Amino acid sequence: MAKDTFSLDELDQSGRSDLSEYDSGLGPAKDLEAVYDIPVQISAVLGKSTMQVSQLLKLGRGAVVELDRKVGEAIDIYVNNRLVARGEVVVVEDRLGITMTEIIKSDRG
């Protein structure tokens, strides 16, 4: 007998449910279609730094701001200001992109 509900933890990394009986559009997978078009804000944080306003005002073109990360260290990926993954910066043609290397599990139940 099929389950009537499933949690987001049951989704694999591709975002598709492993419950194939719902792919026919007769179960919760069809219900999730309502949220597919909701925009979310995705941020990739390379690192952070703290400085005084006086130091900030002295920055000019070519200034270097040292971040709290080392070269090769994973970057944080946020969705709507919530940490959801870590990844690596990649170059795709002439643009920067991100490859997710780790999904962060939420403590919420």
- pLDDT, position 88: 94
Judge contact between 96 and 83, C-beta under 8 A.
Answer: no
Judge contact between 76 and 83, C-beta under 8 A.
Answer: yes
9-34: pLDDT as tens digits? 444 444 444 444 445 555 667 778 88
Determine how many CB atoms are found less than 10 A away from the CB of residue 75.
17
What global pTM score does this model have? 0.62
Q: Which CATH number fits domain 39-109: 3.30.43.10, 2.30.330.10, 3.30.70.360, 1.40.20.10?
A: 2.30.330.10
52 vs 17: which has the higher pLDDT: 52
Size (the chain), residues: 109
Give me the amino acid identity at 73.
Answer: E
* pLDDT over 50 (residue 8): no
Cα 79 from Cα 74, distance rounded (Å): 16
Report domain extents, the chain: 1-38, 39-109
Percent of the chain at pLDDT exceeding 90: 60
52 vs 12: which has the higher pLDDT: 52
60-100: pLDDT as tens digits? 999 999 999 998 899 999 999 999 999 999 999 999 999 99
Cα 37 from Cα 95, distance rounded (Å): 24
Determine how many CB atoms are found less than 10 A away from the CB of residue 49.
11
